[in-house]
Amino acid sequence: MVGNMVVVGDIPADARPVNTNNRGGNGEPVSPWKNSRAKAQLAEMLKDRTSNVRTISVDAVWESNPLFRQYPWPRFKQNFKSLKKKIDDEAAAIAFDQRSYEHEQEKFPRNATTMRGQPFWNGHPAESLMEADVKQGIISGMKPKAVRQSRPEYQEFDLPCGIISTKKKRNKLKNHTGK
Q: DSSP 3-state assignment of 172?
A: helix
Based on the domain organization, do 133 and 74 belong to the same domain?
Answer: no
User: What count of other Cβ atoms lies within 10 Å of the Cβ of residue 43?
Assistant: 14
Number of domain units in the chain: 2
Q: Is residue 97 one of the residues assigned to a domain?
A: yes
Q: The domain containing residue 164 runs over which residues? A: 125-177
How far CA 19 is from CA of 13, 72, 151, in Å, comes to 11, 5, 70
* C-alpha–C-alpha distance, residues 19 and 156, integer Å: 70
Domain end residue (candidates: 109, 134, 161): 109
Residues 94 and 136 in one domain: no
Per-residue pLDDT at 28: 66
Q: Do 73 and 22 reside in the same domain of the chain?
A: yes
Predicted pLDDT at 156: 83
User: What's the confidence (pLDDT) of residue 64?
Assistant: 93
What pLDDT tens digit does each residue of the chain (179 aa) get? Answer: 344 433 344 444 444 444 444 445 555 678 899 999 999 999 999 999 899 998 999 999 999 999 999 999 999 999 999 999 999 999 999 999 999 999 999 999 988 888 888 888 888 898 888 888 888 888 878 888 888 888 888 888 776 667 777 777 777 777 767 66
Examine residue 117 and state whether it is found in any structural domain, yes or no. no
* Same domain, residue pair 11 and 63: yes
- 55: in domain: yes
Nearest Cα residue to 139 out of 129, 147, 131, 128: 147
| Amino acid in position 18 | V
The reply to whether 120 falls in a domain is no
Question: CA–CA separation, 174 vs 179, rounded Å?
Answer: 5
pLDDT recorded at residue 136: 87
165 and 93 in a common domain: no
Q: What is the pLDDT of residue 101?
A: 95
HSE value, Cβ hemisphere, 13 Å, CA-based, for 29: 2
What is the pLDDT, as a whole number, of residue 160? 64
